[in-house]
Amino acid sequence: MTDTHCPYCSLQCGMTLRVGSSLASSGQAGSSRSRRLEVRERDFPVNEGALCRKGWTATGLRGHRERLTTPLLRDRATGELRAASWDEALDVVATRLRTLQEAHGPDTVAVFGGGGLTNEKAYLLGKLARVALRTSRIDYNGRWCMSSAASAANQALGIDRGLPFPLADIERTDVLVLVGSNLAETMPPAARHLDRLRERGGHVVVIDPRRTATAARADTVLQPVPGTDLALALGVLHLLDAAGAVDEEYVASRTTGFAAVRRTAAAWWPERVERVTGVSAGELRALAGLLAGAGTVTVLTARGAEQHSQGTATVLGWLNVALALGMPGKAHAGYGCLTGQGNGQGGREHGQKSDQLPGYRMIDDPAAREHVARVWGVDPESIPGKGLSAYELLESLGTGSRALLVFGSNIVVSAPNATRVTERLAALDLLVVADIVLSETAAMADVVLPVTQWAEESGTMTNLEGRVILRERAVTPPDGVRSDLDVYAGLASRLGSTAAFPTDPEEAFAELRLASAGGRADYAGITYDRIRAEDGVFWPCPAEDHPGTPRMFADSFATPDGRARFVDVEHAGAAEQPDADYPVHLTTGRVLAQYQSGAQTRRVRDLPDDGPFVELHPMLAARIGARDGEPVMVTTRRGSLRAPARIVDTIRPDTIFVPFHWVGANRLTNDALDPSSRMPEFKVCAAEVGLDTPSLVPRDGYSTNEGLVGRVASASERAVVGRVASASERIEIPAAHQRPGSGPTLGSPGFEARFSHTSTTGETPA
């Protein structure tokens, strides 16, 4: 029996693995027999024995027929992948990397990591890039997870830890505001805290364009237009200030910068907010009144609010609300971010992010470089400077960077504007992917390296609370599989590096502790033995006799003067707004049975894999003639996706939803970047949805005519008038239907509209 943790989300639920009878080798991974693993419940503080269906089926890849157990090399003559020995594969990689760097410089090689890598892997991957490869070009898919929340927290609070308190604290708050989170599906064991909060008389508010499973467990649900959460926050702050609900004593003694924020919020009166967000002035006033009257308030943001070109500003807007109420640092109150990936927190703390060194040190800080260089035994000047963010790194492939090493990420599925990214991957001279299965990205690679998975290795993770936990090895990996740490060490030695690259996880963690000591994310006092004895240890923990830090900010914030910062932000909206050709909002997200790119969960037999779908409102479905379960086509400026319609009344009529676990969804999404976090705008773009049939009216050659009888149709109206209207179509709404109270209104039974087309030559097309 081995106590360990789930391989999926940032809860890192505790579980116990029991090794059972062996499986026959026929059709199984490995050369002999594969020992069966069974999941058992474990009483761990985060989940109290509860697991979601992904956790209960987490052993489903053990012995899977698609498990990689030998390195693969792309045959240049045939273009096919063939089996190779480890020595041959690593020799090929090292030789080609060295040749490329000699010809084009160190930055011709790029490294892409993952938010699922253990702390030890993330730490040594950063070291591999900067010491052995000498490249600045390293980033990871966690840039697409909570980087906007991280940027905001660093600006406002001086430190980035997803939750500055244990998750269970939210049970004791009076009002919990969830902005862009569907934790009932993305991390189901956490949803019990919502139920307990409500049982003791608390109030749960969910802000989401969709009425999700989480919304079903809430008392108040607001459904704003995607990309307008910041305007909503400004409106709430406006009303709190007008009602005298700002905690003036707290603001004066513990913060700076409120005057500018107050002036900006003054311009966001409820009716203006309603026009922008679609949330009624009455609903907004009710929310502000609820917050003003509460003793304690906790605001939690997640990807729905953060994955925007204004994601950092949006989080800052909600942080300003929490600070104005005097909540951060107060017991059972404050602000936090619900991290998504299993090690989204620890993954960026220790060096696989382009601008950071271990311990959450900034790479352009001379003192930080000096400290880390001493641990690594290198000259501080040899450490490269700040590199490119994740999407910008991928955009450079084939031009600035000619080789890419990928560890723990499936870029082909997960990157925004994925068609463009796939083209950049194809332009590389060398693509190396380390994975456990032949993912969509690995299938494109020149070299594929089979690595260990969860349960076959030990290593630490840092969950959404900042709790450092230990995943223990339970079984021996299949023959032919090596750990990522072995891969790093093998490449480093072949590249001539004399720096240490330990392959034992505990040795790697000991070095990480030294490198992080004194940094913002200080792990110096955390050991494997302490983690085992204490159910994890909260950072910062600067010494072995330090108790760790479950709760932050009670006395001061992590800023030079100890005060939190109000940051003045203004709503600008999504980078891409609906128009005549693309008249609806597209948003993306997760479903209960799948995780991230689905490379693991789509291969687990006991998890349903229904493929992608398009969720749309009955009003929109009726107007385009869509039927539940039948295919529709979603198109954006970047690509198209054909998938079955799911007609639900829980989504806004002007919005459609597509899950991102399958190839196709991110061919649609926008690669516009947040200026601070460099987070892509996954959560909103302009789209068209229609039946999966050829258009009866060609668009090319027709003039734009938005004329209506009496007024111009809005983008949302174009989405529901009979069908999606193109820019070449004239929409004529009968006069009797143009004003409330004068006949059937837009989208109601009895409404009719007429379409006509005008060509640039003045002729009406057949």
Residue range 235-239: mean pLDDT, rounded = 98
Choose among 546, 131, 544, 139: nearest CA to 375: 131
Please give the average per-residue pLDDT across 60-85, as a whole number. 94
594 plus 647 within the same structural domain:
yes
Nearest-Å Rg of the Cα atoms of the chain is 27
CA distance 423 to 392: 14
Position 49 pLDDT exceeds 80: yes
Token output for 83: 């089996």
Q: Are strands 459-462 and 447-450 parallel, antiparallel or unpaired?
A: unpaired
**CATH (domain of 687):** 2.40.40.20
What's the pLDDT score for residue 21?
63
In a domain, 562, yes or no: no
Confidence of residue 693 (pLDDT cuts 50, 70, 90): low
> Are 154 and 271 found together in one domain?
yes
pLDDT at 99 over 50: yes
Find where tokens 């049970």 sit: 171
**Which tokens belong to 464?**
């959404």
pLDDT for 157-181, tens place per residue?
A: 999 999 999 999 999 999 999 999 9
Tokens 């890419």 identify what position? 404
Q: For residue 710, is it within any domain?
A: no
Those residues with Cβ within 8 angstroms of residue 680's Cβ, 6 or more apart along the chain or in another chain: 144, 307, 391, 416, 417, 669, 670, 671, 672, 673, 674
With a cut of 60, say whether residue 732 has pLDDT above it: no
CA distance 464 to 462: 7
The amino acid that residue 339 corresponds to is: T
Tell me the C-alpha to C-alpha distance, in Å, between residue 371 and each of 131, 497, 526, 543: 15, 20, 19, 17
- Of 651, 676, 691, the residue at which a domain comes to its end is 691
At 741 the pLDDT is 34
Quick: pLDDT tens for 530-578: 999 999 999 999 999 999 999 999 999 999 999 999 999 999 999 999 9
Asked if residue 303 and residue 262 are part of one domain, the reply reads yes
User: Could you tell me which of 211, 213, 185, 216 has the C-alpha nearest to residue 9?
Assistant: 185
- 366 and 509 in one domain? yes
**Domain shared by 591 and 636, yes or no:** yes
Residue 658 located in a structural domain: yes
* CA distance linking residue 566 with residue 251, whole number of Å: 9
| Cβ neighbours around 622 below 10 Å, total | 17
Helices assigned H by DSSP within 410-470: 411-414, 418-426
In whole numbers, what is the pLDDT of the chain averaged over residues? 89
| Dihedral sign computed on CA atoms, order 337, 339, 343, 344 | negative
- 447-450 and 430-435 strand pairing: parallel
Lowest mean pLDDT among 79-93, 506-520, 722-736: 722-736
Of 338-352, 373-387, 439-453, the least confident: 338-352
Four-CA torsion 41, 44, 48, 50, nearest 10 degrees: -40
List all residues 6 or more positions away from 472 whose beta carbon is below 8 Å from its beta carbon. Answer: 2, 3, 4, 458
DSSP 669-715: S---B-TTT--B-TT-EEEEEEESS--SS--TTB------SSSPPPH
- H/E element, 57: none
Residue 212 lies in a domain: yes
Looking up tokens 């001061």, which residue turns up? 556
Q: Are residues 169 and 137 in the same domain?
A: no
Amino acid 420: pLDDT: 95
Weakest mean pLDDT among 74-78, 200-204, 266-270, 744-748: 744-748
Q: Are the beta carbons of 620 and 719 closer than 8 angstroms?
A: yes
- 8 A C-beta contact, residue 677 and residue 356: no
Give the mean pLDDT of 64-73.
95
Please state the rounded mean pLDDT for residues 193-215. 97
- The pLDDT value given to residue 36: 81
Q: In degrees rounded to 5, what are phi and psi of residue 460? A: -95, 155
CB atoms within 10 A of CB 26: 6
Q: What is the pLDDT of residue 521?
A: 96
End residue of a domain, out of 476, 508, 538: 538
Structure confidence at residue 753 (pLDDT): 36
pLDDT of residue 692: 82
What's the pLDDT tens digit per position in 566-614? Answer: 999 999 999 999 999 999 999 999 998 998 888 899 999 999 888 999 9
Q: 74 - beta bridge partners?
A: 81
Q: Which domain holds residue 290?
A: 148-337
Look up the CATH number of the domain holding residue 380. 3.40.50.740
Residue 134 reports pLDDT greater than 80: yes
CB contact set of 562 (below 8 Å; sequence gap of 6+): 555, 556
Q: Extract the runs of DSSP E, i.e. beta strands, from 373-491.
A: 403-407, 430-435, 447-450, 459-462, 467-471
| Of residues 675 and 717, more confidently modeled | 675
Domain boundary among 318, 337, 356: 337
The pLDDT of residue 18 is 93
Q: Give yes or no: residues 271 and 325 share one domain.
A: yes
- Is pLDDT at 756 greater than 50 in this prediction? no
Please indicate, yes or no, whether residues 226 and 115 belong to a single structural domain of this protein.
no
**Is the separation of the CB atoms in 737 and 596 below 8 Å?**
no
Per the model's pLDDT, the better-predicted residue between 27 and 45 turns out to be 45
- Retrieve residue 531's tokens: 């983690």
Is 336 strand, coil or helix? strand
Q: How confident is the model at residue 145 (pLDDT cuts 50, 70, 90)?
A: confident
Q: What pLDDT is attached to residue 32?
A: 40
Reference 615, options 311, 304, 229, 212; nearest CA is: 212
Share of the chain above pLDDT 70, in %: 88
Domain check: are 296 and 385 in the same one? no
Identify the pLDDT of residue 754. 35
Whether 236 is covered by a domain: the verdict is yes
Q: C-alpha angle 464/465/467, rounded to 5°?
A: 105
Q: What is the pTM of this model?
A: 0.88
CATH number at residue 220: 3.40.228.10
Q: Answer yes or no: is pLDDT of 703 > 70.
A: no
Encoding tokens for residue 659? 């899950």
Q: Which among 293, 288, 292, 310 is positioned nearest to 301, based on CA atoms?
A: 310
**Rounded Cα–Cα distance for residues 589 and 207 (Å):** 15
The contacts of residue 179 (CB under 8 Å, 6+ apart) are 207, 229, 299, 300, 301, 302, 304, 305, 318
In the prediction, which pLDDT does 34 show?
A: 56
Q: In the chain, how many domains are there?
A: 3
- From CA 744, how far away is CA 619, in angstroms rounded? 14
Per-residue pLDDT tens digits for 470-520:
999 999 999 999 999 999 999 999 999 999 999 999 999 999 999 999 999
Domain-embedded: residue 740: no
Q: pLDDT digit string (tens) for 336-377?
A: 999 888 898 998 899 999 999 999 999 999 999 999 999 999
Kindly give the pairing relationship between strand 537-538 and strand 109-113.
unpaired
| Structure tokens that stand for 110 in this block | 């790029």
Q: Give the 3-state secondary structure of residue 225.
A: coil
Mean pLDDT score, 715-731: 37
Burial of 181 (0-12, 13-18, 19+ CB in 10 A): buried
The count of other CB atoms within 10 Å of the CB of residue 75 is 12
Domain assignment of residue 4, yes or no: no
Is the per-residue pLDDT at 248 higher than 90?
Answer: yes
Residues 168 and 133 both lie in one domain = no
pLDDT bracket for residue 705 (50, 70, 90): very low
